[in-house]
Amino acid sequence: MSRAFIFPGQGAQAIGMGRDLAEAYPAARAVFDEVDEALGESLSALIWEGDAESLTLTQNAQPALMATSLAAMRALEAEGVTIGAAAFVAGHSLGEYSALTAAGSLTVADAARLLRLRGKAMQEAVPVGEGAMAAILGLDLAAVRTLVAEAAEGEVLAAANDNDPAQVVISGAKAAVERAAALAKEAGAKRALMLPVSAPFHCALMAPAARVMAEALDDVHIAAPAVPLVANVTADRVTDEATIRSLLVEQVCGAVRWRESVAFMVGQGVTEFWEIGAGKALSGMVRRIHKEASVQAVGTAADVSAAAQSLTA
């Protein structure tokens, strides 16, 4: 059975995530300590004892989710499950940094600093209130693209996340997103849900953040991943360091092609997906993309134990 390790993106964060991993596995605790040191603050205290509003801030949520994913990965390694147990790694948006760190392309410290910067740059790229995002439920990508073309009216509007066959997230200027959401029902959507996000991610309005990340990534060492990454913006495998660097910059404005990424991995023989880190959002998407897939979430100490046992059963 071929498997992929997949890593969640923003929205999966929750107060207390990863705490039982840190308590059960010294290697997991070390990840949180390394992130705290890299950022010069106790992010772990916010994750475990803080308030949800502060954790949800993009600049905090991004490194926090990476830390939790890597803590789960280190716990798996302590149980004898290495990155080599996966044929591919992939991550949703910021989860791509977690995937690359798990595969040895980035250090935990570099990933933490990059994600803190990425979160700040994405937040600052568009003044608060000028951008928005909405989830369009019940329409496929082609239908949403038609809707976007109709609603844009010269403003920035894009299909930002192609999550699964019936969920596409749009992003752009607030008025354009609102127009699209209003038209969605007429186009056959079951629902159009405005998302509680602080910025319009993965659209052209993020260009200032892309420039910030291009400069930052130029100064960071990126190694070849131990297993291939399936990249957000290409939905294809990549192992070349220079290409990975370029795609991480492109990813800031580019669409997250998650449905296609999962389909690619299935086409390469992957039958089992492990969601490494907080939440189960990606697990649900994978099931909707490929109903025959075996999916398990690995975000707690109990999950780690169960996953490790499944390999030896």
pLDDT tens-place string over residues 24-77: 999 999 999 999 999 999 999 999 999 999 999 999 999 999 999 999 999 999
Cβ–Cβ < 8 Å for 195, 134: yes
Per the model's pLDDT, the better-predicted residue between 128 and 262 turns out to be 262
Mean pLDDT, residues 5-26: 96
pLDDT tens digit string along 158-173? 999 999 999 999 999 9
pLDDT of residue 128: 86
pLDDT of residue 196: 85
Residue 313 has pLDDT above 80, yes or no: no
Mean pLDDT, residues 94-118: 98
Residue 111 has pLDDT above 80, yes or no: yes
* CA–CA distances in Å: residue 232 to residues 7, 51, 256: 12, 30, 5
Sheet of 167-173: strand order equals 157-164, 167-173, 131-137, 191-194
Residue 177 has pLDDT above 70, yes or no: yes
Residue 134 has pLDDT above 90, yes or no: yes
Residue 219's SS3 state is coil
Just list the catalytic residues: 93, 202
Direct distance between the N- and C-terminal alpha carbons of the chain, in angstroms, rounded to an integer: 13
pLDDT exceeding 70 applies to what percent of the chain?
99
DSSP 8-state symbol, 43: H
Residue 113 has pLDDT above 70, yes or no: yes
Residue 217 has pLDDT above 70, yes or no: yes
Lowest mean pLDDT among 153-167, 186-200, 281-295: 186-200
Neighbours of 251 (CB within 10 A): 23
pLDDT of residue 197: 84
